[in-house]
Amino acid sequence: MAGLPAAEAFDAALVTGGLPIICARWRHGEDVRSFLARELANPVSPLVVSAQLSLAAEFPDQAQARMVLAAIGSGERMRSDLTMARIERSWTGWRGRVVEPLVCEALARILPAQGIPAAPVVGGYWTRSNDVEIDIVGADREPVAKQLLFLGSVKWLETGQFDDHDLLALQRHRDRITPDPVPLVAVSRSGTSATRVDAAFTPADLIAAW
């Protein structure tokens, strides 16, 4: 609909949330920064109004919208953490976090064709202290899995591939939650240079799931 390459199409999905009234305002082939510059300059834009209404419905008046969005961008997920957090990150820094639900949905569709076991549930896992944080978890059921089918990491940077350092970090996190050699999956906006990852996917691969 937006007339964009795969990676930029994911950005458009993140910005619009798939809401038709917002998507309809995206000019064909327009990049995300141009769209945001135009829409955020308009105080009655559906993008601005819908965001304000969503925040007003979920958080108390004293929780400033900028702080809430910054907390989401830093990776906070719990409501209490979102209310208290005061951390701000750039668009590049937090984009990888918010793309994860879209990635998980795509992987649920395409992984069986890559020799990785099909997973009834694809989500993420983290501890409250964030000392273990795994972007992608394929499991047999939720909320408590009996069997892990694959684990993965998302690296969504415009520059910088998923490399051996990222793979080592993922292996360490796997070792913290299971002794089994569960297959490891890499999803990267800019490709993968790690040689021993079990499966690797680009934005184009994910778009193909649909």
pTM of the model: 0.74
- Token code pair at residue 158: 């415009």
Considering only residues 103 and 199, tell me which one the structure prediction assigns the higher pLDDT. Answer: 199
Sequence ranges of the domains in the chain: 6-96, 99-207
Phi, psi of 63 (to 5 degrees): -85, 100
Residue 113: per-residue pLDDT:
61
Instruction: Supply the pLDDT for residue 89.
Output: 45
d(CA 32, CA 47): 13
User: For residue 74, what are the CA distances in angstroms to 14, 37, 66, 130?
Assistant: 16, 22, 12, 12
* Least confident piece of the model among 7-16, 21-30, 33-42, 78-87: 78-87
* Residue 79, pLDDT above cutoff 70: no
**Rounded CA separation 137/177 (Å):** 11
Strands (DSSP E) found in 11-126: 121-126
Residue whose token pair is 């978890």: 137
Q: Which of these ranges, 38-47, 53-62, 132-141, has the smallest mean pLDDT? A: 53-62
Strand 184-188 relative to strand 199-201, pairing? parallel
Q: So what's the pLDDT on residue 158?
A: 85
Fold (CATH) for 99-207: Trna Endonuclease; Chain: A, domain 1 (3.40.1350)
> Any idea which of 54-68, 82-96, 122-136 has the lowest mean pLDDT?
82-96
